[in-house]
Amino acid sequence: MNIICPYVPGMLWSETHEPLHALGAEFVDVSADEEAYYRLLASRWAPGNKMIVVEQDVVPTAALLERMWTCPRPWCVAPYVVEGGGHVTSALGCVKFSGRLMARHPKLMERVGALHGDGAPLRTWWKLGDRVNQVLAECMGVAPGEAQPHLHFPAVQHLS
């Protein structure tokens, strides 16, 4: 599996690191600046380059990651529970992008990097999930918020 774990030194949870390390994940320091996470995803967005992204504070099981990896759907998310019991499905906490999706939309990350108008800086890490979802919705011809990834349960644990 091609698992990438973007992290900031001192913020990578051992509960995340240990199981991902055992699966051969690549840990990538994104602390250089506010756009480092964007640059990481943009650099890996290439036709045929299927990847799973697991953020530094998310704990998926190996079985869940295996199901996501082998799933034929192009865009998969393992949701996580937030206060009040709802599930977050639009974040990048635990997401798979297929090589087929990247081949179909090779300029997706360029488009994500050019989005503005929401008051946030271009390519900022804290709007990246929303912007990826917005561009995927546009690519699919649906309204933002209507583009739905294929969900994999059980929900992952979100530690922060």
pLDDT tens, residue by residue, 13-64: 999 999 999 999 999 999 999 999 999 999 999 998 999 999 999 999 999 9
Which class for 25: exposed (0-12), middle (13-18), buried (19 or more C-beta within 10 A)?
buried
Amino acid, res. 82:
V
Q: Which two tokens stand for residue 84?
A: 């009040």
Q: Which two tokens stand for residue 35?
A: 């756009």
Strands (E), 34-127: 51-54, 58-59, 75-77, 80-81, 87-88, 94-97
Amino acid, res. 87:
H
Which class for 160: exposed (0-12), middle (13-18), buried (19 or more C-beta within 10 A)?
exposed
pLDDT tens, residue by residue, 97-130: 999 999 999 999 999 999 987 889 999 999 999 9
Most confident of 24-33, 82-91, 136-145: 24-33
HSE of 159, CA atoms in CB hemisphere, 13 A: 14
In the chain, what are the domain boundaries?
A: 3-158
Instruction: Looking at the chain, list the stretches that DSSP marks H as alpha helix, in order from N- to C-terminal side.
Output: 14-22, 36-44, 62-70, 99-104, 108-114, 128-140
Q: Which two tokens stand for residue 64?
A: 């869940």
Please give the biggest Cα pair distance in the chain: 41
What CATH number belongs to 3-158? Answer: 3.90.550
How big is the chain, counted in residues?
160
Q: Is the confidence at residue 143, as pLDDT, over 80?
A: no
Amino acid, res. 143:
A
pLDDT band, very low/low/confident/very high, at 144 (cuts 50, 70, 90): low
pLDDT value for 20: 98
CA distance 62 to 36: 27
